[in-house]
Amino acid sequence: MHGAPTAASAGAVGTVVTRAAEQQVALRLTGIDKSFPGVRALDGVDLTVLSGEVHALVGENGAGKSTLMAVASGALAPDGGSVEIAGTRLTGASPDEARDLGLAIVRQDPALLPDLTVAENMAIGVGHRRVGGIHRAVAWSQARLDPWGMAIDPRSRVDELSVEQRFVVEIAKALALEPTVLILDEPTEHLNLDEVSRLFSRVREIVAGGAAVVYISHRIPEVKQISDRITVLRDGSVRGTFSTEEVDEAQIIERAIGRKLEAVFPPKGSEIGSVGTDEVLVVRGLQGEGFHGVDLTVRAGEIVGLAGVQGNGQAALLRALAGLAPAEGSVSVQGEPVPRGNLAARRSGIVYIPADRHAEGVFMSLDVAENISAATLPEVAGAGFVGTRRVLTRARQQIEQLGIKTPGPSTMVSALSGGNQQKVVLARTRLAAPRVLLAEEPTQGVDAGARVDIYQILRETADSGAAVLLLSSDGIELQGLCDRVLIMSRGRVVEELTGDEVTEAAIGRAALMSTQLRDRRDADRAGGFRRWIRGDHAPALVLGALLLLLGLVVSATNPAYLTPFNLNNLLFMAAPALFVGAAQQVVVLGSGFDLSVGPLMGLLVVLSSFWIVEGGNLWVGLGLMLGGALAVGLINGVLVTAFHVNPVVATLGMSMALQGVYLALRSTPGGIIFPTVSEWVQARFGFVPVVTVVAVAVLLVLELALRRTRWGLRLRATGSRADAAARLGIRTGRVRLGSYVLGSLLVLPAAVVMMAQIGIGDGRPALSYTLTSITVIVLAGTSIFGGRGSFLAVLVAALLVQQILNVSPLLGLSQAWSYWLPGLVTLAAALLYALARRGGLPSARRRRATTVAPGGRS
Amino acid sequence: MSTSERTSTPVAAPPRAAGHAGRTVARLFGGSWVPITVATVALLAVSPAIAPGSLGSASVLSMLPFAAVLAIAAAGQTLVVQQRGLDLSVPGMMALGAVLVTALPQQYGVGVVPAVVLAVLVPALFGLLNGVLVAVFGITPLVATLGMNAVLLGTVFAVSDGTPSGAADGLNRFTLDRTLGVPNTVIVAVVVIAVAAVVASRSIIGHRLTQIGVSERAAAAIGIRVNRYRLSAYGFAAACYGAAGLLLAGYAKTPPLFLGDSYLLPTVAAVVLGGTALTGGIASIAATAVAALFLSQLGQLLRSLGWPDSSQLIAQAVVLILVVVLRVVVPTAWQRWRGRSTS
């Protein structure tokens, strides 16, 4: 077809015929059934994939392709039927087992860990043995990525990569496993023509090597080009398997949708003349993040499609029009300019249907009726109070008119099938009487029946005089529904297709041809220093400078500061801060939180005061402390991992319980700590306390372990994205449990220092260390969501916190400052990091994490 | 995949009866006002049997003011939890309310009424600041409110100069008095809770707060100015803490400087017991208030059994963790049991 290395494809097709007889079955699915609430996703599906072939799986959104492959890869348990990989039957739903049998899958939502580097991701993905140890991972990954020519630096963090770079990493990872069965689920969605042809030549190579490839796509021309056989899936059933040579594109489309296009799509406004002359939506010179110089006009009654390779600004443009992202330029609706902001857009009659239905479309834990009236509450309210009965009546009307399948208006919307959830969104949208409707992938993860209804509703909305802008990655949908289609590339509208030009093939061709080049951020190749400054250790440098500066200022104003006595005191008191900071860091890296640090320290001090006293036994005392720390860590960890208790609640409860326990043991301070032990603990070299040296050493070891050991990798992986880590075979529960135990164990030395310092059994002075531990990690720039942090930064941050507390009396500050300083430092640090992290948008991080729209259950 | 597993609970069961029972079980342990009300009534009923006199009028009258204070503070915590936060600045906010209402008249000569107003308004401003940090700057609620708590305690220290002041006589008398036999503190609490509960569950504002709590992004997509609502949730929450602090200060006559320290866990416990999910969204202030009554009566019962305060801390923590764990364990176990019995 267009621009493909035709010689190679002809060769591949040619060999199939001759080899067909001796080909072995690489993947055999027999009688697969799978139901989701309200939907029969798969119905007795049989599929046989031979080694040495590219087997395409074709079907519309919601036909069951991804569900079928989730079953094949062991990620989802079927209700019935069996999966056989290379002749061995899968015993249960286990991705590990499937992988061991030689199956690799590239999903629409790549299993990548955003806070880890590319090399670390590849090492986890393919196993350390294949890579040859973590220290070789960079060179090994470089060798696997270079052929793609995407300028991916293996030392970059994944969250710094663009979407297509992430896909290439994911594909390279799967190829490195040397699979016998490789499943590619919509792999070209984010790729340009060049990248697609590179992917295809790799696919042909591995097929020539005897592997089988299952290729899922709704881009029919690509399927024609790459595959040997095609299986068509519709409504969860196989509608036939064909040799690719025997069918043409039109036949494939007809089989995928099961009827003529005209039967699925309502007549177009441009054909029956319902498109008005009013220019309802007029956009001039609009620019924002991801798009620029956009001019477009949508008239009343018109449905205009937005197409292009994903990530070329289509979605960003839609969000900006909905007022959800800042943009400059002019937008007007029926001649009235639209001010900034989502509320202003809404007031101008712009209504947005988001692609990510679960997170952004519906309110999952609210009922159907609430969802339907969500956007139009004032219409069902009197004097500011919502009329429940009116909400229900309206919901019943919409349920009936749109044929929403739900037990009733009070059913939670999460219990509905994808298609019916989307109909709820459309009901809400209809009630909002849009003048401009922005629909982003409205049929993703929607079953066939509902999809036809959705097309109907979109057309009716247009017919009622609204301007509809439809973003879709499905060419058939654009062909069937749109009066015009705009192709976007690199943030601009580059082509417009009208009338007879609006066909699946033309749209696909235009999108690919216009996106041959791409702006690539070569900053990723920047020098060592720039990478370092973006890295986890950078805060250490800034904090170190602050530490020195503060020291200089104070020593200039107060000579008492530089005395060995004060320095010794400062460093000695820094030891517990170092240990509790490290403890909190370990837990937070695994995306946990520990509020029981301070009270645990208090409990351990009180425990020590019963045995580490005159006539007691040091070892029993230490044993008790160790036992206490272990028990608390285990209980916290079990509550969080086994019982899924929110870490904050679990450790808040624990912290109160621990306070109760130590108060019950000693309601007033008592039990003089054996002085000899105190002296040991306070031993020093010159003015440098030994415990502080030990603490620094422990932190350095932890830092090394975090980067260089599998434990460190697993901990960061779990904290970065637990679901992806689990998919990669990491036992995230155990890792998190371990982090709580290790965290509590790190509190133990802090308690020993405290015990020596106060010399008496009293838990209360330790309470403030919970805040100290959190101040330290916040200062150190540790990601509070887990996955990223540096013990070097914790080291410097702990010293800085102690320094700040130490200097306030030297500067003659009142006692109020002993509260203000840690509080203000925590807030200021959190604020600075928050500002540094986001590039203008408050939720940049969250959005970045979800740039790749989840595939839904199709 | 996890979504589909979670969502399969309500309708996946073909046999109607089992499905209905399953829903009931899920509701009982998944959070609603019913279980906590039943538990509270049960607790009140068994109290006299366990400790004679623990439901006597003297006992109840000494418990109720504390329940009132806790209920008001917990109402605030409910608003924050609804926004998927957790407010760790409760102790500082209550202490600030208390110190303003006591120290301002005694040390600075401010009238009692303006002091009462300030004791609510000033914490509310700090609460708005919490909201700005969380909503506008995207700081984790935990870190923002923990840092804010330290700032508030410092402020309390600065305002009071480190020494507690006594509450003005007028305020003290009001909090100790009863109207028609009902302690004034309880009347205040009932009014505050009733207004807050009706607004939160019935008004447009309340519906929007719920929507934002369920999903900020979905709320933004339908044109709600999410940040404004989140800001005001934190502001109103702090006003509640301030009010709770001032009532407690009035009742205690000479309150300790940091009187809120022991209220952080109970507010969280009351919210959780009241059935509001920590994942945000649907919240019930009324249920939280009932839970506050439950916790206070539990404390009273333990006290009449001679338990020291330290054991009370443990008991509260155990109740909190137990309820949270049961909410996870019971529906899962039920699901498994039903799965076995139907297949």
- What pLDDT, in 10s, does the model give residues A83-106? 999 888 888 778 788 888 889 988
- Residue (of A254, A255, A249) closest to A223 by Cα position: A249
Measured CA to CA, the distance from residue B102 to residue A838 in angstroms comes to: 43
A6-102+179-258 and A266-349+434-521 share one CATH topology? Answer: yes
Q: Which residues of A touch B272 (CB under 8 A)?
A: 649
CA dist list (Å): B285 to A182, A283, B211, B237: 53, 46, 16, 11
Measured CA to CA, the distance from residue A792 to residue A241 in angstroms comes to: 59
Per-residue pLDDT at A515: 61
Report the run of H or E that residue A449 belongs to, with start and end.
helix A448-463
Q: Give B266→chain A minimum CA distance, Å.
A: 10
**What's the pLDDT band for B32 if we cut at 50, 70, 90?**
low
Residue A358 in contact with partner chain B when CB distance is under 8 A:
yes
- Residue (of A325, A310, A317) closest to A286 by Cα position: A317
Amino acid residing at A522:
D
Q: Is the pLDDT of residue B44 over 50?
A: yes
First to last CA, chain A: 28
Are β-strands A760-761 and A670-672 bridged in parallel, bridged antiparallel, or unpaired?
antiparallel
Residue A465 DSSP class: T
Per-residue pLDDT at A694: 95
**What's the pLDDT band for A581 if we cut at 50, 70, 90?**
very high
The residues pairing with A437 across neighbouring beta strands, listed in sequence order, are: A351, A468
Residue A532 in contact with partner chain B when CB distance is under 8 A:
no
**E runs forming strands in chain B:** 178-179, 182-183
The answer to whether A376 and A364 have CB atoms below 8 angstroms apart is no
**What's the pLDDT band for A814 if we cut at 50, 70, 90?**
confident
Q: For residue A166, which phi and psi values (nearest 5 degrees)? A: -60, -40
Q: Which residues of B touch A321 (CB under 8 A)?
A: none
**What's the pLDDT band for A849 if we cut at 50, 70, 90?**
very low
Query: Which of A343, A653, A834 lies closest to B321 in CB terms?
Result: A653
3-state DSSP assignment of residue B228 = helix
In A, residues 733-772, which contact B (CB 8 Å cutoff)?
Answer: 771
Q: Quote the longest CA-to-CA distance of chain B.
A: 75
Measured CA to CA, the distance from residue A805 to residue A545 in angstroms comes to: 17
Greater pLDDT, A27 or B22: A27
Mean pLDDT of the residues in chain B: 85
Which of A16-30, A176-190, A237-251, B48-62 bottoms out in mean pLDDT, i.e. has the lowest? A16-30
Amino acid residing at A319:
R
Q: What is the mean pLDDT of residues B197-217?
A: 93
Per-residue pLDDT at A8: 38
Give the chain A residue nearest B324 (alpha carbons): A645
Measured CA to CA, the distance from residue A446 to residue A477 in angstroms comes to: 13
Q: Which residues of A touch B228 (CB under 8 A)?
A: none
In A, residues 287-306, which contact B (CB 8 Å cutoff)?
Answer: none
In sequence order, which ranges of A296-447 are alpha helices (DSSP H)?
Answer: 314-321, 342-347, 368-373, 388-402, 418-431
- What pLDDT, in 10s, does the model give residues B246-304? 999 999 888 888 888 889 889 998 998 888 888 888 889 999 999 999 999 988 888 88
Per-residue pLDDT at A353: 94
Q: Out of 1.10.3470, 1.20.1440, 2.120.10, 3.30.70, which CATH number does the structure's domain B55-325 have?
A: 1.10.3470
**What's the pLDDT band for A470 if we cut at 50, 70, 90?**
very high
Q: Which residue has the tokens 């919409």?
A: A398
**What's the pLDDT band for B19 if we cut at 50, 70, 90?**
very low
Query: Which of A657, A821, A827 lies closest to B148 in CB terms?
Result: A827
Q: Is the pLDDT of residue A13 over 60?
A: no
* Domain ranges across chain A: 6-102+179-258, 112-173, 266-349+434-521, 365-432, 533-812
Per-residue pLDDT at A11: 38
Q: Which residues of B touch A324 (CB under 8 A)?
A: 220-221
Distance, C-alpha A118 to centroid of its chain: 16
Q: A415 and B10 in contact by Cβ < 8 A?
A: yes
Q: What is the Cα Rg of chain A in Å? A: 31
- What pLDDT, in 10s, does the model give residues A656-712? 899 999 999 998 898 888 888 888 888 888 889 999 999 999 999 999 999 989 899
**What's the pLDDT band for B28 if we cut at 50, 70, 90?**
very low
Per-residue pLDDT at A520: 46
Q: Is the pLDDT of residue A257 over 80?
A: no
- Residue (of A712, A690, A688) closest to A701 by Cα position: A712
Q: What is the mean pLDDT of residues B92-113?
A: 91
Q: Which residue has the tokens 């929007």?
A: B208
Query: Which of A819, A831, A842 lies closest to B150 in CB terms?
Result: A819
The dotted CATH code for A6-102+179-258 is 3.40.50.300
Residue A546 in contact with partner chain B when CB distance is under 8 A:
no
- What pLDDT, in 10s, does the model give residues A735-768? 999 999 999 999 999 999 999 999 898 988 898 8
Count of helix runs (H) and strand runs (E) in chain A: 35, 26
Q: Is the pLDDT of residue A499 over 80?
A: yes
Q: Which residue has the tokens 């990548």?
A: A112
Give the chain A residue nearest B328 (alpha carbons): A643
Q: Is the pLDDT of residue A528 over 70?
A: no
CA dist list (Å): A190 to A193, A472, A805, B25: 10, 13, 52, 45
In sequence order, which ranges of A503-617 are alpha helices (DSSP H)?
Answer: 504-513, 528-534, 538-557, 564-589, 597-611
* Domain ranges across chain B: 55-325
Q: What is the mean pLDDT of residues A489-496?
A: 89
Amino acid residing at A252:
I
Q: Give B192→chain A minimum CA distance, Å.
A: 18
Per-residue pLDDT at A840: 39
Per-residue pLDDT at A198: 85
- What pLDDT, in 10s, does the model give residues A825-845? 889 888 888 887 764 333 333
Q: Is the pLDDT of residue A287 over 50?
A: yes
Per-residue pLDDT at B342: 53
Residue A814 in contact with partner chain B when CB distance is under 8 A:
yes
Query: Which of A375, A646, A657 lies closest to B314 in CB terms?
Result: A657
Q: Which residues of A touch B278 (CB under 8 A)?
A: 646, 648-649
Per-residue pLDDT at A7: 39
Greater pLDDT, B216 or A254: B216
- Residue (of A572, A774, A556) closest to A691 by Cα position: A572
Q: What is the mean pLDDT of residues B89-102?
A: 95
Q: Give A798→chain B minimum CA distance, Å.
A: 16
Report the run of H or E that residue A489 belongs to, with start and end.
strand A484-489
Q: Is the pLDDT of residue B104 over 80?
A: yes
CA dist list (Å): B108 to A128, B111, B112, B162: 69, 9, 11, 15
Task: Work out the percent of chain A whose per-residue pLDDT is above 90.
Answer: 40
- What pLDDT, in 10s, does the model give residues A546-575? 888 888 888 888 888 888 888 898 999 999
The residues pairing with A32 across neighbouring beta strands, listed in sequence order, are: A45
- Residue (of B31, B49, B24) closest to B270 by Cα position: B31
Q: Out of 1.25.40, 3.30.420, 1.10.20, 1.10.3470, which CATH number does the structure's domain A533-812 have?
A: 1.10.3470
Residue A730 DSSP class: -
Residue A499 in contact with partner chain B when CB distance is under 8 A:
no
Residues A266-349+434-521: name the CATH superfamily. P-loop containing nucleotide triphosphate hydrolases (3.40.50.300)
- Cα angle at A633 between A630 and A639, to 5 degrees? 135
Q: A366 and B217 in contact by Cβ < 8 A?
A: no
Greater pLDDT, A727 or B271: B271
Per-residue pLDDT at B194: 94
Total Cβ atoms within 10 A of residue A558: 16
Per-residue pLDDT at A838: 66
